[in-house]
Structure 1
Amino acid sequence: MKTILVTGSNGLLGQKLTSLICGSGRANLIATSRGANRNPLSEGYLYVQMNISEQSQIKEVISTYKPDVVINTAAITNVDICHIQRELCTQVNVTAVEHLAKICKELNIHLIHLSTDFVFDGNAGPYSEDALPNPLSFYGESKVQAEQVIRDSGCKWAIIRTILVYGITASSSRSNIVLWAKSSLEKGAPIKVVNDQWRMPTLAEDLAEGCLLTAEKEATGIFHISGKDMMSVYELVQQVGAFWNLDTSLIQPVSSATLNQEAKRPLKTGFILDKAIRELGYKPHSFLEGLKLQKMQIQLAGI
């Protein structure tokens, strides 16, 4: 059985990977993140503190445990923060990846790195894996740089690009598009939502499964892993409101140009999923199926 080390295990994807690996018994897990373990699931795996911004910590932890696979979920993904705090963005999204790739090459470790649809400009979506990146934001640029670092590193690698991940964890303080929409509408607050940006939202459980399949099959190269339903962000929020029987008249469609966001977003991304389905056996849920799962998890968690 493989030993998998996950970076950023306190995040949404990191916690879903922990639950999947421990619940399925398909691998041994070393979970790593900055600070204390925030996952309510505390047994069945080893937790080690590791800040990926610290090269010495990366080398010490990975050299000590010598996993078969590293899944790097750690990143700064807030597009506007990356636009403003560019040095921090580069440190976490690019320089840390250089250190991970170097140690993975030295120890013959399979590196699986998470990337994003924001490497594309949104002019020709949905995209296949061989489409040429052309990022519009500094965040997108940082992810393109990280991809190139990995491709040039000489290590055994796979890059998983994904889109607009949603899901829930019992201890997660981070919101996402589904939870934000649900919470806002429950409060009766009018919300402005863009109607000219198109995405294929990704259930966090699907993304975790895609990562684990990549590790198990020792797959290499780039894989596009997302949900299978294309929709505008406005349609997405409308579906969330309708699913929870909330007042969808509170949802006001607006164009991207009216939001005055710090960083530019691609208008239409989306992925062609054929390669992941064919080579990994990836089976994405529909958006409605994802909402049903999330509703059940919210009820079980009592939140």
Structure 2
Amino acid sequence: MKILITGANGLLGQKLVGLLAEKEVEIIATGKGNSRLPNPDTFTYVTMDICNANEVMETIKTHQPDVIVNTAAMTQVDQCETEKEACWDLNVNAVEHLIKASEANNAFLLHLSTDFIFDGADGPYDEEASANPLSYYGESKLAAEELLQKSNIRWAIARTVLVYGIAHDMSRSNIILWVKNSIEQGKDLKIVDDQWRTPTLAEDLAMGCWLIAEKQAEGVFNISGKDLLTPYDMAMMTCDYFQLDKSYIEKVDGSIFQQTAKRPAKTGFNINKAREILGYEPHSFEEGIKILHEQISAQ
């Protein structure tokens, strides 16, 4: 099987390339710039701008992948509100280019989506729940889902929630590292306890993507963590694990933060479908902290 990954330099892309390197899979890793991936002998790297329709068509025609996994997106929610054109180009138009290239080359397209397509009024959500995005980011991700659903290709959507993990080049932080580093530096933190999520370890999301790709399982799948937590809960669990002083943390509600984009209050996912059809089983958040700690220690 040959799998082409977009956004291969991102956190999920890196984890997916690493996971697939252990499988009987030929990997075509793509990204807009140069490769930032470790172990270059395990994959072929191709520079591809997914916003360029011709480049997408040519690359997919040349490499003829069985499966395309689209991990590329503009995911900074506030940035999407202020840079709407760039957001739509990467989150919607690029998906249209991938659909056309998949159709022309008979590829199965797996697209990553988000809990931010929901308004957070009645989470956790299953795959059949009605979408109602509160932000432009959520609107763009929903529009991409709708393109897939009305297309003639074989497709799957992996929806996920608050992905955390360690990138190879430590280029991206997450709530665990932020809490740990801040408290170790003696910084006070205000952390919300009125938003709920099912945070997702990047390795678990990569595994969910592989399980879909391996089976070419069609349709929508919720691929997230299994623990419904507030950011405050996550911070407390981080303090417990690393034995940090909790007095630096103040519990607050989200209304005190001036953010450009509205956030859904309670999302999180029901993952029973992925468990039953794919055999997906994520780590607990506590296990995720331990895995991150081991990875930091190894660097």
Partner of 1:40: 38
Partner of 2:93: 95
Partner of 1:52: 50
Which letter maps to 2:18?
S
CA deviation digits over 1:233-270, x for unaligned, max 9?
11111111221122221111111111011000000001
Partner of 2:14: 15
CA deviation digits over 1:207-252, x for unaligned, max 9?
0000001011110000001111111111111111221122221111
3-state SS of 2:40 partner: coil
Matched residues, number? 299
Partner of 2:217: 219
What is the distance in 1 between the residues matched to 2:113 and 2:179? 24
Task: Give 1:132 deviation, angstroms.
Answer: 0.7
What is the distance in 1 between the residues matched to 2:137 and 2:176? 22
**TM-score (norm: length of structure 1):** 0.97
Partner of 2:251: 253
What is the distance in 2 between the residues matched to 1:176 and 1:104? 33
Indicate if the aligned counterparts of 1:117 and 1:269 stay in contact, CA closer than 8 A: yes
Partner of 1:142: 140
**TM-score (norm: length of structure 2):** 0.98
3-state SS of 2:110 partner: strand
Indicate if the aligned counterparts of 2:51 and 2:97 stay in contact, CA closer than 8 A: no
What is the distance in 2 between the residues matched to 1:177 and 1:141? 25
Which letter maps to 1:19?
G
Indicate if the aligned counterparts of 2:156 and 2:218 stay in contact, CA closer than 8 A: yes
Is 2:149 the partner of 1:156? no
Partner of 1:203: 201
Indicate if the aligned counterparts of 1:159 and 1:222 stay in contact, CA closer than 8 A: yes
What is the distance in 1 between the residues matched to 2:243 and 2:61? 51
Runs of 4+ that moved beyond 6 A? none
What is the distance in 1 between the residues matched to 2:185 and 2:47? 37
Which letter maps to 1:50?
M
Aligned CA RMSD, in angstroms, stands at: 1.0
Task: Give 1:173 deviation, angstroms.
Answer: 1.1
Partner of 2:293: 295
3-state SS of 2:30 partner: strand
3-state SS of 2:121 partner: coil
Partner of 2:271: 273
What is the distance in 1 between the residues matched to 2:140 and 2:154? 21
Indicate if the aligned counterparts of 1:193 and 1:251 stay in contact, CA closer than 8 A: yes
Partner of 1:239: 237
3-state SS of 2:277 partner: helix
**Runs (5+) with no aligned partner, structure 2:** none
- When structure 1 is superposed on structure 2, of 240-249 and 127-136 the one drifting more is 240-249
